Structure 1
Amino acid sequence: MNLDFVEDLGHGIYAIDTGFQRPRFDAAYLMVEKGRAAFIDTGTNHAVPRLLAALQALGLKPDAVDWVIPTHVHLDHAGGVGLLMQHLPQARLLVHPRGQRHMIDPSALWAGALAVYGEAEMLRSYGQLLPVDEARTLASRDEMQIDLGGRPLLLLDTPGHARHHHCIWDARSRGWFSGDTFGLSYREFDSEQGPWLMPTSTPVQFEPEALRASIARLLSHEPESMYLTHYGRVGSPKALSLGLLRLLEASVALAHRVARSPERHALLKQGLSTLYLGSLEAHGCGARLSPEAQLELLQMDIELNAQGIGVWLDKLK
Structure 2
Amino acid sequence: MGATHGIHTIDTGFQRPQFDAAFLMVEQGRAAFIDCGTNHSVPAMLAALAAQGLGPEAVDWLILTHVHLDHAGGAGQLMQHLPNATLVVHPRGAPHMIDPSRLVAGAAAVYGEAEITRSYGAIQAVPAERVREAADGAVIDLAGRPLLCVDTPGHARHHFCVWDARSHSWFTGDTFGLSYRELDVDGRPFVIPTTSPVQFDPEPLKASIRTLQARAPEAMYLTHYGRVGDVARLGAELAEQVDAMVALVREACAADDGDNLRHARLVDGLTRYYIQRARAHGVADAAAVVSAVLGMDIELNAQGLLVWQARNAAAAIATPL
TM-score normalised by the chain length of structure 1: 0.95
Q: Conserved in 1, the CA contact under 8 Å of 2:29 and 2:58?
A: yes
Counterpart for residue 281 of structure 2: 283
* Aligned residue in 2 for 1:166: 160
Pairs within 5 Å for 1:204-215? 204-215=198-209
Deviation at 1:243, TM superposition (A): 1.7
1:104-144 CA distance string (max 9 Å, x none): 00001110111111122111111110000000001111111
Q: Is the 8 A contact 1:145 1:152 kept in 2?
A: yes
Kept in 1, the 8 Å contact 2:271–2:290? The answer is: no
Residue in structure 2 matching 1:307, options 303, 307, 316:
303
1:82 match: 76
Distance 2:237 2:265 in 1: 22
CA distance in 2, matches of 1:173, 1:109: 33
Distance 1:300 1:26 in 2: 13
- Please report the TM-score for the alignment, with normalisation by the length of structure 2: 0.94
- In structure 2, what is the Cα distance between the partners aligned to 1:9 and 1:210? 33
CA contact (8 A) 1:153 1:169 kept: yes
Secondary structure at 1:176's aligned position in 2?
strand
One-letter identity of the residue aligned with 2:172: S
Contact 1:247–1:275 (8 Å) recurs in 2: no
Aligned to 2:92, the other structure's residue is in SS state: helix
Query: Residue 4 of structure 1 corresponds to which residue in structure 2?
Result: none
Contact 1:193–1:283 at 8 Å: present in 2 too? no
1:87 aligned counterpart, secondary structure? coil
1:183-222 to structure 2, matched below 5 A, reads 183-192=177-186, 194-222=188-216
Conservation of the 8 A alpha-carbon contact between 1:104 and 1:133: yes
* 1:242 corresponds to 2:236: yes
Equivalences for residues 22-37 of structure 1 within 5 A: 22-37=16-31
- 1:218-260 Cα distance to aligned partner (Å, 9 max, x none): 1111101000000000012112112222211110111122223
Residue in structure 2 matching 1:227, options 216, 221, 226 = 221
Secondary structure of 2:54's counterpart equals coil
The whole-number CA distance in structure 1 between the counterparts of 2:286 and 2:159 is: 34
Give me the whole-angstrom Cα distance separating, in 2, the residues matched to 1:248 and 1:114. Answer: 26
- Using a 3 Å threshold, how does the CA distance of structure 1 residues 193 and 28 change in structure 2: closer, same or farther? closer
How far does residue 192 in structure 1 lie from its aligned partner after superposition? 2.4
Structure 1 residue ranges without an equivalent (≥5) = 1-7
The yes-or-no answer on 1:295 pairing with 2:291 is yes
Which residue in the other structure is 1:267 paired with? 265
